[in-house]
A and B are shown apart, each in its own frame.
Chain A
Amino acid sequence: MRQNKKGFITIYALLLLSVSFSICAAVTKVYKDKVKFIEYVDEFRLINQIEVLVIGRIRQSYDDYKTKDETIYYHSCRISISYDNSSASISIICPKMSRHRVLTYDEIEGFVTDYY
C-alpha cells in the first residue's frame, strides 16, 4: 500500500475524528442526563403518591380504631407505619430516595394536628 507523504492519518481525518467523538460524547451525556432526570421525576411522583395514600390509610386506621404497625411493599418501595398513641411514624424507602414523616392525629376531633 502506498503511503501518503502527509502520513496515513491526515490532520483532516483527525479533525473529523475529534468532532465525531465530541458529538458522540455530547449525545451520550444528554441522553444519560435525560434518563436520569426522567427516572428521578418518576420516583418523585411515586413517593409523593405513596405519601398521600399512606396519610389516607393512617387516618382511616385511626377512625376505625385499628392502629397496628405495618410494613407494606409497593412497587419497589418499602413503607413502614408505626403507631404511638396519637402519633404515627411513616417511613417510605424507595431505591433512589426515602422520606420519613410523623403524623399526629386528634381522634376525637378527627383532624390532623401536626405533620412534619
Chain B
Amino acid sequence: MERERKMLGLLSEKGRSAGYNILEMSIGLLLLSVTVVMISPLYRCLNSLRQFDSYFYQDEIGIYQLQIALALGNDIRIEDGILYYETIDNEMTVSLVNRKIIAQPGTVDYIHDVSDGWFEQKEGIIYVIFKRKQQTYRYPVAYASE
C-alpha cells in the first residue's frame, strides 16, 4: 500500500508531518515579506539621520551666537571678506583663523573645522560662507548697517 502511495507521488503520513501546512507557510511568508518591506524604510531613516553630521548642531549654535553678537553690535561692515563690528568696549573682527571662524579680541569660536570662510553682503543682508569637506554652507547672520 505504502509503495503504491509512493508511486502515485503521495507523501506518507510521516513525511507530511515533517513539513508545514499551507496556512503556516502563508503566515511565514507574510511575516517574511513584512520584514523585508520594513528594512527599506529603516535603512532610509537611518541614512537620513546620519546626514545630520556631528557639525550640524554645533553650527546652529555658532550661527546663533554670531547673530546675537552682531545684533548687539554697532557699525557692522565687511572688508575683504572679514567682518568688523563695534561693541561699547572694542572693535571686533570676525575672520577665519586656524580653520575656525572666530571673533577677536577675546577669541570667541563660532564655527569649527572649516577649510575656508568669509563674509559677504547681498541685498542688505550679511552672510557667513564657509567650506567644509567640499561642501559650502551659507547662513544669513545680520542686517547690514545703513
Q: Contacting A30 at CB < 8 Å: which of B46, B73, B87?
A: B46
A16 within 8 A of B: yes
Given A16-B32, A110-B74, the answer on whether A56 and B143 have CB atoms closer than 8 Å is: yes
Chain A residues whose C-beta falls within 8 Å of the C-beta of B48 in the assembled complex: 34
Q: How far is the CA of A55 from the CA of B68 in the complex (A)?
A: 8
Q: Contacting A45 at CB < 8 Å: which of B35, B38, B52, B60?
A: B60
Q: Contacting A10 at CB < 8 Å: which of B20, B86, B87, B143?
A: B20
Inter-chain contact A52/B38, CB cutoff 8 Å = no
- Shortest beta-carbon distance from B85 to chain A in Å: 11
Q: How far is the CA of A106 from the CA of B88 in the complex (A)?
A: 9
Size of interface on B: residues with Cβ below 8 Å to A: 33
Stretch from B23-31, B104-112, B130-138 that touches the partner? B23-31
B8 within 8 A of A: no
Q: Which residue of chain A has the shortest Cβ distance to B74 in the bound complex?
A: A111
A97 within 8 A of B: no
For A8, A16, A41, the residue with the greatest tally of chain B CB atoms inside 10 Å of its CB is: A16
Category for how many chain A residues contact B: 35 or more
Inter-chain contact A31/B45, CB cutoff 8 Å = yes
Chain B residues whose C-beta falls within 8 Å of the C-beta of A8 in the assembled complex: 23-24
Given A23-B42, A27-B41, A34-B49, the answer on whether A115 and B72 have CB atoms closer than 8 Å is: yes
Residues of A within 8 A of B (CB): 1-2, 4-5, 8-10, 12-13, 16-17, 19-20, 23-24, 26-27, 30-31, 33-34, 37, 41, 44-45, 48, 51-52, 55-56, 103, 106, 109-113, 115
Q: Which 5 A-B pairs have the closest CB atoms?
A: A16-B31, A111-B88, A55-B71, A112-B72, A48-B64
A-B contact pairs, 22 of them (CB 8 A): A1-B23, A10-B24, A12-B28, A13-B24, A13-B27, A19-B35, A20-B31, A23-B38, A27-B41, A30-B42, A30-B49, A31-B41, A34-B48, A41-B60, A44-B60, A48-B64, A51-B68, A52-B71, A55-B68, A106-B88, A111-B74, A115-B68
